[in-house]
Amino acid sequence: MIHPARRVLVADLRKHVGETVSVSGWVNTLRLQRKMQFVLVRDHTGMTQVTHRRGGEGDLLERQLEEISLESAVRITGRVLDNPVVNLGGLELVPTGMEVLNRAQAPLPIDEHTGSEHRLDWRFLDVRKRPAAQLLFAVQTTVEQAMREFAYREGCTEMHTPKLMGTASESGAEVFKLGYFDRNAYLAQSPQFYKQMAIAAGIDRVFEVGPVFRAEPSFTSRHATEFTGVDVELAWIDSVEDVMDFEERMLVHTLTTVKNLHGDAIREHFGVEVTVPELPFPRITMAGAQQILRARGWDPQGVKEDLDPEGERGLAAHVMEETGHEFVFVTEYPASIRPFYHMRPADRPGLTSSFDLLWKGLEITTGAQREHRYDLLLEQAAEKGVGTESLRDYLNCFRYGCPPHGGLGMGLGRVLMVMLGLDSIREATFLFRGPNRLTP
């Protein structure tokens, strides 16, 4: 066994021309010719060519390369040579030895013709072999770190609120129930109540990234039963405008960072241009949005209170035509289609101080100022037929000086989906969970 030299990443090989190094990665391609053996080895930074001249009998390396299988994990030690005729960076590795760290079984269970559901079954291979999928998780890391940086700068504290709840508080219907010793517990549909509890606890501004769970039998391209939520809650706000202002600036910071770090790679792998939006984002009331959409032929019966996906797309098209903007805040949702804890403007109790944010016609955020006055909150809960007994701990937060506050919840997968132009949230998630999918 040849003692391996120091590992060098493929992207750094150029700095080591003439040196003997080790490359660790996967066997991407094998071209075994009569005199020469060519192996393309891939690590997470790129691909390089290993060029071995067959030595005949007694050439251990020749035999190893003859027998190795695609996607095996190997460590190849060799000399880095400058060779302008080689496609991959004009470099090749002339090997002195190979260690097979983990031999892959053959054949592989998926290939480039495999359908999407079967690819999800073998998600680890699907992600490993596609540079675009690798890029997606790098972009995800950048997105959430940029949001975090912004949030910290704005005075947020990162909280981790419980996912296990004693009661199915927010709404009983779409909640997963589990056995909890001798009783039941429920999985949080969002950190909503707990981030408000953090506000009542004197945390000035709350930031949280964590899983949220929805027991919703939805099979669309944009729903999942578990997804990563980005949540913000801000105390002492003057109005819901403060929340929208926070979000649009957070997104500008995030998209600027993504464009700088990954703009070129996203164009190459996803064919999408990352655009940094202008401030402020357009705002339109729900009533105004419906008026515009009806003029375009939407909802001819005139019965819809909420925007459906068709309405969201139509509105986005309108805003793009009028302003050239990819984003639009839809504000002042009717109280009838918003939860009881959304604040209602004093002079228009049929509306709420709330918003959705659409990006290229897809809802990526719901936000609102919350009702922080105990009596009004009780009234609004009663009006919605929400039982207050199971909400006792939540409601108690408002009895002892909870300040005015508001916030937003954003789906990280949806942000990636829109940003990268993906067809489905399944592609924007490492391991998707839906009503029919709990594996792998």
* By CB under 8 A, residue 283 contacts its own copies: no
* By CB under 8 A, residue 82 contacts its own copies: no
343 with 242: CB under 8 angstroms? no
Query: Interaction with its own copies in 108-147: which residues (CB under 8 A)?
Result: 108-109, 122-129, 133-134, 137-138, 140-141, 144-145
Alpha helices in 176-308 (DSSP H): 192-200, 240-270, 286-295
225 with 216: CB under 8 angstroms? yes
Number of residues interacting with its own copies: please give it, by CB under 8 A: 94
Neighbours of 300 (CB within 10 A): 7
* Closest CB to its own copies among residues 145, 323: 145
SS3 assignment, position 427: helix
34 in a labelled binding site: no
* By CB under 8 A, residue 340 contacts its own copies: no
412 in a labelled binding site: yes
Shortest Å distance, C-beta 345 to its own copies: 17
Residue range at the interface with its own copies (CB under 8 A); choices 13-21, 68-76, 309-317, 353-361: 68-76
Shortest Å distance, C-beta 337 to its own copies: 26
Query: Interaction with its own copies in 391-430: which residues (CB under 8 A)?
Result: 393-394, 396-404, 412, 430
Reported for 435-438, long-range contacts at CB under 8 A and 24+ positions apart, including other chains, are 435/216, 435/217, 435/218, 435/219, 435/225, 436/219, 437/120
Ramachandran assignment for 421, one of left (phi > 0), alpha (psi -120 to 50 degrees), beta (any other): left
* By CB under 8 A, residue 15 contacts its own copies: no
* By CB under 8 A, residue 378 contacts its own copies: no
* By CB under 8 A, residue 341 contacts its own copies: no
Q: β-strand 73-82 against 205-213: which pairing, if any?
A: unpaired
Q: Which residues, 6+ apart, have CB-to-CB distance to 108 below 8 Å?
A: 70, 71, 125
Distance, CA of 352 to CA of 335 (rounded, Å) = 5
* By CB under 8 A, residue 171 contacts its own copies: no
* By CB under 8 A, residue 204 contacts its own copies: yes
Distance, CA of 247 to CA of 220 (rounded, Å) = 26
* By CB under 8 A, residue 161 contacts its own copies: yes
* Closest CB to its own copies among residues 165, 284: 165
- Write out the binding residues for L-aspartate: 170, 214, 366, 370
- Write out the binding residues: 170, 214-216, 363, 366, 370, 411-414
